[in-house]
Amino acid sequence: MRAAVRVTPYGAPAFEVLCEEVEAARGEAGHFLAPVTVLVGEHRLAVLTRRELARRGHIGVECATLRDLAERLGGEALAAKGRRPASAAVLAAAVRQVLQTSAAGVFGEVRDHLATERALTEAHRTLRDLDERVLGVLAKASARASDVVAISRQVRRRLAAGGFHDERDLLTEAMRLVGHPGHTATQGPADRADMHDRAAQKTTGPGAGSATAERDPPGAVDVAGLGRLVLYLPQRVGPAALDLLVALTAAAGGFTVVAGCCGDPDADAAVAAVVRHLAGDEAWRPPAAAAPAPTRIVAVPDADEEVRTALRGVVEALRRGVPLERMAVLYGRNEPYARLLGDQLQAAELPFNGPSARPLTESVLGRFLLGLLGLPGRRYSRADVMAWLAAVPIRSALEARGDGRWRPVPVAAWERISRRAGVVDGAGEWGRRLEVYCTNRRAEIDRLGEDSDWRRVQIQRDLAVADGLGLFMADVLARGEAAGGLRSWRRLAQWAATSIRGLVGGAEWREGNWPPHECATAERVESCLERLGGLDRVDPEPDLARFRRALEAELATGRGTRGRTGHGLLIGPVGAAFGVNLECVWVLGMAEGTFPGRAVEDSLFSEAERAAVPDALPSPPARLADDHRRFLAVMAGSSEERTLLYPRGDLRRTADRLPSRWLLASAQRVAAGADGLEAPLGAGDLAKLPGGIFRDVPSPTAALRACSFPTTSQEYDLRLLLDHSDSGGSLEEHPLAAPGQPLAPAVTMLAARRASAFTRFDGNLAGCEIAEVAGGRRVVSATQLEAWATCPHGYFMRYMLGVEAVDQPERELRISPLERGDLIHTILDRFFNQVLAAGAPDPAIAWGEDDRRRLTEIAAEAFAEREGKGRVGQRIFWEPERSRIHRELLAFLDVEERWRRAGGCVPWASEKGFGMPPRRRDEEPQPPVEIPLGDGRTVRVRGAVDRIDRTGTGAAVVIDYKTGRSNVYQRLGESPWAIYAGAGSKGSPKRDALPRLQLPLYAHAARQVTGAATEVIAGYWFVTADEGFRWLALSQDESVEAELQWTLASICDGIATGVFPAYPRPRSHPSHCDYCDADRHRAGEVAAQLHRKARSPEMLGWLRVGARGLLPVEEHRQLVDGPPAGDHVEHDAEDPT
């Protein structure tokens, strides 16, 4: 017996035919509730079809998928044989096991790759539907195809041996039993609405429907009791499913196929093949129906504007009275439309439903588990640990408090401390580096003075954070070590469940603290864990890496749904609206390469191999034809409005886009219907379409101006502002900019920054309580004072707010210049302290081998300390750098020897501190140096002089070691403004000069610590071979003293009056500020802003000491308020005096 066939266009005509078949079946049976079963392709379509039939008065119609029917027919028989459904996890485990055997073939070398497992799992699903004859032909096509077939066969045998069955087994068993009239199928009451509603909410991925759906108390009916069977809108059907349909055709009390056609032979080919298989070649007689034409085509700038334009259309239709349930916004590819649509609809507060855009791997609990399981394989790297902590709301059992409330871990504080501790990766490094960090910080507390209570509190707070991080990481490391020893899926799943309860919280806790949708996805993640726990029979002896890979594969297959099926706006891929009758539909992403996508050849089966088994394996062109059929069916299913949108560009990839061939074909139908044009249309011809069908949106602003009603509150406010601006109003006059309104602060800020006055938005903190630098108890360093001159905003952030830039140790391939300089200072300090402890060397005596050996030992000790702290970068770069530093230190001894002999200098002190706690208990503390400003005020300065020597004449020589480049000290000592260093030729104005205060301030300190008002010579000694061990001295005379006083007064006045503007410079600039980091465009804006405000009286002091390049040239030449300049001499390395 062959099936009856009715071929009809998609959309309303197809549903009318279905209604006629239901009426006819019940008319023949003589009862309005006679059983009728409608077979559809998906659960969602089953739910919507049943509801639509009920609205037309056809109640009690059973709507189900063919797989659901097969489950009812053959599920109990397979269960009686002891065979259970094979979930996606079971199938993946079987593939992994086969890959570990000789059957892996050419895939043996990549057997442990997740991509290999996924590809072969999908290939098995495809091949499972083919019979042995076809598989034999395919296996002969190539060696690779032979291996794929062999793996699939082995997977099938392994599943059968383990007592599992797959969908092919279920369909085959159902087909076998359909031929036995005595067989009964369990079935609930006629009205199975509740069952379909529940089924539609469940995951529809592979293996998700393996368990029998929840049923009401069953009753037994014969297969014929299913009544008339109607196959509604069939699509591409596999061989096993076709065989079951043939058996049902013969056994059921009537079988009708309602087949849809879209008018395109290629698109209709798969449906025609099903019809011919069930009813013969003559049954496929498609009616002469034209494919539906779009009512509007819209070109927009990018994908974001596509989504906004579509939702504005939804709002307009809603205002016309079209229910949301009769509208759909669809797309051809998930990225980026699925997320954009969800975000925009939530902002618009419109209800929606459809397939979820987010797999379980991106859920909170999914990210937690995959992150935790991945840490051992990434050696617990600091970056991975911190990314894991920041991605999920982890709580630690170690931080539970007596009130029973759990609090999240302090991720930001742990990030900062772990960076400072120098943690990079390695399980042992966490404890070791954090312990060294805590030891150093506790030693720092011991060195603090009595007036450093705030600093002591800060260090103690950091120590508490470090202790908490250490305890947490010890817990995580212990969990990882315990999991590494487990070799059972059940025990690994239990370990994961225990970690969830201990670090995230159980289901009861999550319900009160997590959003509802995250609680729902968490339950599904835990269900995945339960399924993995049952894999020991299929995949014995797993390790942690395999467990993580299996979990990731399981989570990646499940997406679920958003919203309740049939309630609200339908969103999703084009196939989500297949067979659904709508009034308005919008299709996004109609650009070439997006929809349709590219026909990419399969990595496992080439076109030649597929050609060996014609029609057995769907080819890439066949899959594109399926997409085209679904697209045309959805267009036909919309009765009122059909809008196609495409982006002209892709801002995410900075690429231009062209309209897709399917959009142009649809536009061709519009042109042919209006003007009878038959020539193909191009992208440039869309604007010529009649009736205003085509609309080009030039920009988001133009789109917002043209829309009749905004979709979100933000768009509404923007539209108000646009209308206000178009009518000639200013932004400041708009109600949204009134005091207390959202835009008021922004408008005030923009107006202030455009003005010439120096305002609080530019860094003017006048009127705020700021601690005085001059005339008070505050003690500052030369570096702090120079920092204000370089960038006042950077000074404010670092020294007033305590915000410090923290490096990322894992990104430091080489030792940083700052760390390198500190290392060399430490080595030289320890060396000369030992030298001084043994007695100051005579200038005429050369360094001996013992001295060089001592320097080498000190350097090795310092190198080991830095290596232990993780401050030297990657070892491959550190090894040669360490050797280089050692060579330069030994070379410096030779230069230093000649230098002392030439100047008759004798080392007197090393790292001599003043205004700071002494480094040794037997050392007398030195008070801060007080620098008079000439107006009754003094500045109290602290610091440490790298080295002080004494000459034979009693003069003190201040030495400040430098390990960087000397170019930032160009023209130091050149009149006028000797203490300012800057680029330029000799005699020209020092336009970009900045004050260098260390030498004159250290000269004052040398007079204080030596106890005599002696002559002082101060200089920078560049102790690197690249700089030739250059000595750059600055003589200390009255003019230098006058410049120092004037500069310090200007700096102190600027700080006291609250002058803290930002001064961003390029990263390549020597005075680049991390706190003012800006791109080229923003840096130019700030520079223009500073130029506008340069004549503000508050800014003048800073411009003269720190930003002279912003002053007009003539004003810079004058600088009449500065002290008179004297003559200064720059000394070479061989002439310290």
Boundary of a domain, candidates 258, 283, 308: 283
Please give the pLDDT value at position 719: 92
In a domain, 762, yes or no: no
Of 854, 873, 903, the one marking the end of a domain is: 903
703 occurs within a structural domain: no
- Assigned token pair, 997: 């205060």
Do 584 and 628 belong to one domain? yes
Own/partner pairs, 11-16, CB within 8 angstroms, 24+ separation: 11/292, 11/581, 11/633, 11/636, 11/637, 11/638, 11/639, 12/581, 12/637, 12/639, 14/232, 14/233, 14/258, 14/260, 14/579, 15/52, 15/581
384 and 486 inside one domain: yes
CB 202 within 8 A of CB 523: no
User: Between the CA atoms of 576, 581, 585 and 587, what dihedral angle is there, to the nearest 10 degrees?
Assistant: 30
pLDDT at 451: 59
Assigned domain for 704 exists: no
pLDDT number for residue 1096: 87
Q: Is residue 528 part of a domain?
A: yes
Is there a single domain that holds both residue 418 and residue 526? Answer: yes
Number of Cβ within 10 Å of residue 738's Cβ equals 12
Which domain-ending residue is among 527, 558, 589?
A: 558
Whether 16 and 143 share a structural domain: no
Q: What is the DSSP letter of 282?
A: G
702 falls within a domain: no
Report the number of distinct structural domains present in the chain. Answer: 7
Positions of the chain with pLDDT under 50? 181-221, 398-404, 1120-1121, 1124-1137
Q: Quick one: 260 and 389 in the same domain?
A: no
Same domain, 421 and 505: yes
pLDDT given at position 395: 80
In a domain, 609, yes or no: no
The answer to the question of residue 742 being in a domain is yes
Nearest CA-CA partner of 703 in 308, 180, 328, 363: 308
883 shares its domain with 952: no
Q: State whether 479 and 516 are in the same domain.
A: yes
Structure tokens at 456: 């002591």
**What does the pLDDT read at residue 222?**
62
How many angstroms separate the CA atoms of 668 and 679, rounded?
8
* Same domain (yes/no): 965, 1005: yes
Strands 956-962 and 938-950 turn out to be antiparallel
Report the candidate in 727, 729, 728, 701 with the shortest Cα–Cα distance to residue 715.
701
CATH number at residue 414: 1.10.486
Looking at the fold, whether 672 and 692 belong to one and the same domain comes out as yes
pLDDT for the residue numbered 1134: 40
Quote the domain boundaries for residue 955.
769-802+906-1137
Residue 826 lies in a domain: yes
Nearest to 551 by CA among 571, 576, 526, 523: 526
- The residues pairing with 255 across neighbouring beta strands, listed in sequence order, are 229
Q: Based on the domain organization, do 422 and 437 belong to the same domain?
A: yes
- Using CA atoms in the order 910, 916, 919, 920, what is the torsion angle rounded to 10 degrees? 110
Residue 656 Rama label (left phi>0; alpha psi -120 to 50; beta): beta
* One domain, residues 328 and 225: no
